[in-house]
Chain A
Amino acid sequence: MSARIVVAGASMAGLRAAEQLRAAGWTGAITLVGDEPHMPYNRPPLSKEVLAGRAPFESLAFRPRASVSDVEWRLGRKVVAAELDGRTVRLDDGTELTYDGLVVATGMRPRRLNCPGPRAGRHTVRTLDDARALREELIRPGARVVVIGAGFIGCEVAATAVGLGVAEVTVVDPLPLPMAGPLGELLGRALRRRHEERGVRFALGAAVAAFTGEERVTGVELRDGRVLPADVVVESVGSVANTEWLEGNGLDLSDGVLTDAWLRAGGRPDVVAVGDVARFPNARYDGVPRRVEHWCIPADTAKHAARTLVAGAAPAPFAPLPTFWSDQHDFRLQSFGAPVLGRQDVRVLDGDPEADVLVGYHHDGRLVGVVALGGQAVAASAARYRAELLKQPALTLS
C-alpha cells in the first residue's frame, strides 16, 4: 500500500495542511475527513457579512491550490476514534483508515450554557448553517436579541444585529467591560462606549441564571433577578476543543491537543496538530503552551507542521507573530503580537481612546503587542509596529 497522510478536520487548517504538505514535498496520498458537508470556507464573515446578508456562500469558499487537486475529500464524515500506536483512525461509517502521518485539525465548537430553560431560540455562531439560522430569526420584525458573552464573536454579532435594524440588542457578560480579558481596561472602556453610541446595550458584571419560556426562549434571567426579554439569544461564551476522538492514546487533551515546538502531539513523530485545536508553545514569547483562536494560525501551524511530518522537523521551533482583527459597526480592531501578555502595562502610542487609538502592550518594559481601534488609517499604523514586534528576541516570563 502506498503512503498516506490523513487530515482529520476539513476546514481552514485542514486545507492549509494539505497544501503545505505538498509544498513540503509530500507526494503520497492525502485524505481529508470533515464532518461538515461543505468544502472548506472562511469563518470570519459568518458573524459579519453573512449575518448581515451581504455574502453568499460562494464568496466564502476557499480556493484550494492546484497542488491539492488530487487529494481525497471525505466530507460529511466524522472521525470517531484513533489508535495512534496502530496508526489507524475510524470514521462514523465504520471505515478504518491507516496512515503514515496524521494531522489533527478538528478545531473547536461553541461552549453551551448549562442553565435551565428551553433550548429553542438559542443560537451559536460557528458554522455556515449556524449563521444562516441566526440570520433568519434576526430579520423578523421586532426581534429582541440578547447576546451572552462580550468577547469578539459576541460583540461582532451585536454590532451586526444593530446594523440589521434590530432595535433591542443587549450584551450580557460577568466581566465589567467587553473584551477586557484579552485587551484590558483601556480598550474595553473605549469599546463599550463605541458600542453604546451605536445602539448596543450592556448588562455587565451579570451572570445568567436561567432562560424563561416554555417551548421557546422568551427571556434571559440574570442572577440578580432581572429578566431581559428576548426573542433570540446568542451564546458566545467560548469554545470547546473537538478532541474526544483522540481519547485513550495518552495525549494531553486538557485544552486542545498539547504539542511541542514542532507541533508534534505526545512526542509522536507521525502526529501533528494545527489550527485552533493546537496548544503550542510560542518561542517568540514565554514558551507556555496556549491555543490561539486567530485566523492566521491555521496557515502558520500548517506550514510548520507539514515540515515536521515530511522532513522530520521544521528548521526552527514554532514562533508565529499572532495577528487578529475584528470588524464591528464601522470600526476595526487590528492586533499584532500578544497583547494578553502585556495587559499590566498598557500605553497609548498614538491617538486618543475617545477617538481612533493605537495602544501598546508591554511586558518588563518591552513592547509585546499593539492594537489599533478605529478606522483604516489607525489600523494601517498598527502594521508599522509589526516589524518591531518581529525583531524582538524571545521573552522569558518570571
Chain B
Amino acid sequence: MKVVVDMNKCQDHGQCVFAAPDVFSLDDAGHLAYVSDPDDALREEVEEAADVCPLQAIRIEV
C-alpha cells in the first residue's frame, strides 16, 4: 500500500497519529512524519487516518 500526504495541505493536526500510530507520528517540533509504504495489514488503520484528517491531506494509492 502506498500512502501520500500532501504536505502543502497538512497542518500537523496529528489526528492521523491517533488513528494509525504505526504509520504516522509527530516529531518533537510537532511536525508530521510518516511511513509511505506501510504493510497492507494496516489498511484499515490508514483508511481511518485518511478519514479523520481535517485537511483531507492523506491519499491512499492502491
Please list the residues of chain A having a beta carbon within 8 angstroms of any beta carbon in chain B: 16, 19, 42, 44, 59-60, 62-63, 65, 295-296, 299, 323, 325, 327, 334, 376-377, 379-380, 383, 386
What's the least CB distance linking B4 to chain A, in Å?
A: 12
Interface of A is mostly: helix
Which A residues lie within 8 Å of B52 (CB)? 296, 299
A42 touches B15 (CB 8 A): no
Of the residues B9, B30, B50, contact of A379 by C-beta under 8 Å: B30
* Nearest-neighbor residue (CB-CB) of B14 within chain A: A383
Count of B interface residues, CB-CB < 8 Å? 19
The CA of A327 and the CA of B12, in the complex, are separated in Å by 12
Of the residues A16, A42, A63, A325, contact of B13 by C-beta under 8 Å: A325
Q: A16-B51, A299-B51 are in contact. Are A380 and B14 (CB under 8 A)?
A: yes
A44 touches B54 (CB 8 A): yes
A323 touches B56 (CB 8 A): no
Of the residues B18, B30, B47, B59, contact of A380 by C-beta under 8 Å: B30
A377 touches B56 (CB 8 A): no
Of the residues B11, B18, B47, B59, contact of A386 by C-beta under 8 Å: B18
11 contacts between A and B (CB under 8 A): A65-B47, A296-B15, A325-B54, A376-B29, A377-B29, A379-B12, A379-B30, A380-B12, A383-B14, A383-B17, A386-B18
Of the residues B11, B17, B56, B59, contact of A42 by C-beta under 8 Å: B56
B30 touches A377 (CB 8 A): yes
Which A residues lie within 8 Å of B50 (CB)? 63
Which B residues lie within 8 Å of A379 (CB)? 12-14, 30
10 nearest A-B pairs in the assembled complex, by CB-CB distance? A380-B30, A376-B30, A377-B30, A383-B14, A299-B51, A376-B12, A380-B26, A42-B56, A295-B54, A299-B52
Which A residues lie within 8 Å of B51 (CB)? 16, 19, 299
Which B residues lie within 8 Å of A295 (CB)? 54
What's the least CB distance linking B18 to chain A, in Å?
A: 7
Which B residues lie within 8 Å of A377 (CB)? 29-30
